[in-house]
A and B are shown apart, each in its own frame.
Chain A
Amino acid sequence: MAGVVAEAPGGAADPSLAEEAVSMHESLTGWLEVNRAALEAVSGMRGQAIETQVAEERELIRALDEAGWTRRGWPADAGGAGGTAISRAVLYDRLAAAGLPIPEAFVLLETLGPVLTRYAPDLARRHLPGILSGRTIWAQGFSEPDAGSDLAALRCRAEPSASGFVLRGQKTWTTLGHLADFALVLARTGEPGYRDLSAFWVDLADPHVTVRPITAANGRHEFAEMFFDEVVIPAGHLIGAIGQGWEIAMYLLQYERGMYAWLRQAVLHNRLATGVNLMNPADHDALRAVGSAFILLTALRRRSWATVEQLAADLSPGPEISVDKILLAQAEQAVHDAVRTIGAAAFLFDGGEEWSMRRDEWFYSRASSIFGGAIDVQRNIVADRVLKLSKSAR
């Protein structure tokens, strides 16, 4: 064959990862079939107050932990059962496919857990078992009133002290902040700019910490603001090294944009499926909205799984992951717009629990193009680093 390399395609880049995925998939699917009803009974329902929902989700986490599932994919020396991010990705996919909620706490676990295990193994050993069993909840203290997408502008400051550090400042838009026990806080430890940032593990029960929930547009306490007034932080709660905060933030964002995208596409498939079952097949607007959402979800699923495999193999996904962040925001909004279109009058006027939940989710999806790095910032990243659009003349 002239010019054609004769080698069959397909096959896993890393056979052990493929084996891990298939094994976890088979065993978990079987277990969920048997235990689904019991898990449904203890699961929280979105649409309740978030405080109630999170409390009920703790029961779900506990049940999953007792069966050993939440520990899969976390290092054994940190209280896990070994394996890679692949196992966690399978857990989220199967939970959503079974119509069970993916606990909100796992969203934070997925962003902060990899950071702790990599940059602060001692802290991981002490704290990972707590969140894996539903006993504790974590929060991510990055954004500030004047530093959201422009994270390097943050002003929350940590000064060295005799016993460690003293933290002063404010964080905001902190998901589950008012329900959390601990937070990873990014603070300035030197000059302005991104180089002099450091990450700290903060006990939110400290009397010098004040946390206030913020009521979101959907009426729920989706996030909170945190105030640190001379909080003494032990030296052992420094994550990584002084000045390593930006690197840690970038490492974390890979998971926030990779694993989180995977987790959300699993949930969104479930939401779209529910909508399809309510749809009037003669409603052309609804059909178009559903078709559009399905296409975006299909793209997101394909791309985010490839990213999860890269993360599991300890490979950096690179700037292309910003494309996935944009796709995720589009898919979130498309799916909930599809549900809104399907519901029509019910979405507007049905006061029942189910449509209240769908309205809450629709409202929250409006923020998906803002939180975690606004998609306008992602566009800039793609322009600079993927399309390599130079602002100066060639």
Chain B
Amino acid sequence: MRKPAEEEEISRSADRAIAESAPGALTALDDWGVDDLIALDQETAVAVLFESRGRQLRGDVPLERLLTASAIGRGREALAVVPVASKAAAPEPAEQPDGFDGLLLGESSCPASLVLATASGAAVRLRTEDAVNRPARGLDPSVVAWHVSGRIDPGDPVAPEAGRVLGCLIMRALAHELCAVTDHLLRRAVCHASERIQFGQPLVALQVVRHKLVDVHVMATAARAVLSSSWLAPEDWLLACAAKVSAGSAFMSSARHVQQICGGLGFTDEFGIHQYIRRGYVLDSLLLGSCGGEREVGAALASRHQVSPVPLTVLVGQGRRRREEGHDRPGRC
């Protein structure tokens, strides 16, 4: 387990590397030594990079390529994911083996070949050159995304084991990004409610406001704990799904309460929380969303006919990560 000061230093240097990244490129991260960190400590690498991307609202850094390289080992292939809304239009390989669509994030252009991760934990390699691929612009204009479609390359499959590892990784990576967005929203709300005087007192003097902020903090803390559990059993698909769903639920809670607490200011462009709310909704909609995700987790448990917790022997000696304690949340305004 890393010491808190080490975690903080790695997080700060990752922030600098993400800030210096050119759109669509990973050069700044290579200079930072991203491959070494992934090889040494995949959890920390994924956590600090995706959380930094969320904090900085960088929608143009294709971090997903690092995950394909790590899980599949064929270099940095582009990775698209199936959005929740398109699930019906993106059937499983067994049902429709040659046609898929998905969302490609952070890429400046759409490559001729890419990997697509589905919500069932499978991955396929697609050839996209014959399909119509178009930029995806919508709720979050800062996300550089593509609607992609294509046909499975029959001569170039992704091994099921590698696909499962990749699926777990992208679930956790998106959960980290969501956690960072939630933390930012909570921090802004705490600052706003502490400084905003109404009826002669700060908003945080009102119990209803205090308790709403605490409820968001509790959900965010729970999401962090589930995410951490998933890292302890990295190939457990159920836990990876639980982490994504939990992070999405915490974000939804923060979006609802934080926007209310921040009042009219929260609806201005200048205040800026809308950018994080836009980003959070997009992230929540990928692969497995908070709405319906709990049912999917329940279905996975039903299919196993058992409820197996993270083994005690795996929990031993793990302590808590610095980021699990939410030290960044109260913060400065």
Contacts and interface: CB of A to CB of B under 8 A. Distances in A.
A380 B312 CA distance: 32
Most chain-A CB neighbours within 10 Å: which of B36, B43, B295?
B295
A302 B226 contact: yes
B25 to A, nearest CB: 17
A12 B314 CA distance: 11
Nearest to A318: B325
B298 interface: yes
A16 to B, nearest CB: 10
Given A1-B33, A391-B204, A303 B330 contact: no
Contact of A269 (B36, B197, B309, B318): B309
B255 to A, nearest CB: 18
A288 B222 contact: no
Interface string B158-185: 0000000000000000000000000000
B299 A281 contact: yes
Most chain-B CB neighbours within 10 Å: which of A289, A299, A309, A394?
A299
A22 B315 CA distance: 10
Given A288-B294, A301-B229, A305-B315, A382 B214 contact: yes
Contacts of A291: 242, 245, 293-299, 301
B195 to A, nearest CB: 6
A394 B202 contact: yes
B77 interface: no
Contact of B317 (A6, A13, A302): A13
B1 A10 contact: yes
Nearest to B216: A387
Contact of A309 (B213, B242, B301, B317): B317
B194 interface: yes
B330 A387 contact: yes
Contacts, number: 222
A14 B44 CA distance: 21
Main secondary structure on B side of the interface with A:
helix
B306 A391 contact: no
A4 B307 contact: no
A18 B32 contact: no
A180 B48 CA distance: 52
B215 interface: yes
Interface in A369-390: 376, 379-380, 382-383, 386-390
B145 interface: no
Given A22-B316, A383-B213, A272 B202 contact: no
B181 to A, nearest CB: 18
Interface stretch (B6-14, B54-62, B91-99, B123-131): B6-14
Contacts of A301: 229, 309-310, 315
A290 interface: yes
A281 B226 contact: no
B109 interface: no
A277 B305 contact: yes
B295 A284 contact: yes
Interface string A256-286: 0000000001000100110011010100101
A12 B226 contact: no
Nearest to B5: A5
A46 to B, nearest CB: 18
Given A292-B294, A309-B319, A4 B13 contact: yes
Interface in A17-44: 17-18, 21-22, 25
Given A1-B36, A5-B6, A9-B1, A302 B218 contact: no
Given A276-B301, A298-B226, A390-B202, 5 more contacts: A295-B249, A298-B246, A305-B315, A380-B207, A387-B217
22 contacts: A4-B32, A4-B33, A4-B36, A5-B2, A9-B41, A10-B317, A13-B1, A18-B317, A90-B312, A272-B307, A273-B307, A291-B294, A292-B298, A294-B298, A295-B297, A298-B242, A330-B218, A380-B210, A383-B210, A383-B213, A387-B214, A389-B204
